[in-house]
Amino acid sequence: MDLKLAGRRALVTGSSSGIGEAIARALSQEGAKVVVHGRNQERAEKVAGDIKAAGVAIGELSTDEGAASVHQAACKALGGNIEILINNAGGSSTGNTSKAPVDIKPEDFVSNYNANTLAAVRLALLAVPDMVAAHFGRVINVSSSVAIQPNNVGVDYSAAKAALNNFTVSLSGSLKAVGVTVNTVTPGVIMVDGLVRFGRAKFGDPNMPFDEIARRLAEERVFDLPPVGRLGLPEEVAMVACMLASPALGYVTGSNYRVDGGQVRAVV
């Protein structure tokens, strides 16, 4: 199936590793011009070289100035305005993944809101006006299953991702008949590099394969396996993001696509 992405200009934030890297690779394979973003120049340039990207944009998205610099660098590398914006950068900025709500400070909520919600908001505010003017654009926000089904710990992160989901719906609803769609992709537990390293260190085997790590983590109840019986791969999230980026999916907006193996038990 031709997703009609050849030549389309894309910025994927947080794409020097993990899910973002997989999305950048998939878009590039579909013929899109991709800018790789990250905070580490060496890692970003390695990914960009591997996929023959249009360029890299290095910088923090935690400030208005940083986001503006990334936006400017991306447009310059692409030779035009951003048509596809993948807001993937984020993650727990405080490390409170095992802390109960009563142990999390108000400033932790502020930090995670800035990293996971406002980073996406900043870039959307910069990129969307150009999309509207061109009558084409795709904004895809990468969220988390805890935005829908929060745990009893790490609520500063899950609250920020829930806010991102709400931003998706509100922004999509405000863009009427302009050719711009806004959607969310929500991964479950995905076998990113950090989880692989964690598993290999925990079980003392530096060469342990992905499926064995997943099995052992589930066996020891570090993670419960979802109904499909395994953990997800970054490439599976990337395929959904590519579909949503396609001009062929212009009738899909304001939606949340869960890529979680059935982990979240919800009907929306």
List per-block mean pLDDT (blocks of 10 residues) for the chain, which spans 268 residues. Answer: 95 96 98 97 96 96 97 98 97 81 93 96 98 98 94 92 98 97 96 84 88 81 82 95 97 97 83
Same-domain status, 148 and 166: yes
Query: In the numeric block, which tokens belong to residue 55?
Result: 């360029």
Same domain for 102 and 221, yes or no, is no
Q: Please indicate, yes or no, if residue 211 is contained in any of the structural domains.
A: yes
Q: Are residues 167 and 197 in the same domain?
A: no
Give the chain's domain count.
2
Residue 266 lies in a domain: no
Cβ distance 154 to 98 under 8 Å? yes
Is residue 224 domain-shared with residue 241, that is, in the same domain?
Answer: no
Summarised one tens digit per residue, pLDDT across range 3-57 is 999 999 999 999 999 999 999 999 999 999 999 999 999 999 999 999 999 999 9
**209 lies in some domain:** yes
Task: Quote the pLDDT of residue 122.
Answer: 98
Establish if 167 belongs to a structural domain: yes
Answer yes or no: do 103 and 124 share one domain.
yes
Q: Are residues 116 and 170 in the same domain?
A: yes
213 and 82: one domain? no
Does residue 222 share a domain with residue 150? no
In a domain, 1, yes or no: no
**Residues forming the active site:** 157
pTM of this prediction exceeds 0.75 = yes
pLDDT, residue 117, reads: 97
Specify the residue for token string 């899950």.
158
Identify the pLDDT of residue 32: 98
Q: 70 and 29 share a domain?
A: yes
C-alpha 213 chain-centroid distance? 23
In terms of domains, do 241 and 203 share one?
no
Same-domain status, 173 and 211: no
Domain extent, residue 134, equals 9-190+233-258
pLDDT of residue 1: 79
Indicate which CATH number applies to the domain containing 77: 3.40.50.720
13 and 74 part of one domain: yes
Give the pLDDT score at 96: 75
- 237 domain-assigned: yes
pLDDT for residue 230: 83
User: Is 111 domain-assigned?
Assistant: yes
Q: Which residues is 256 bridged to in the sheet?
A: 184
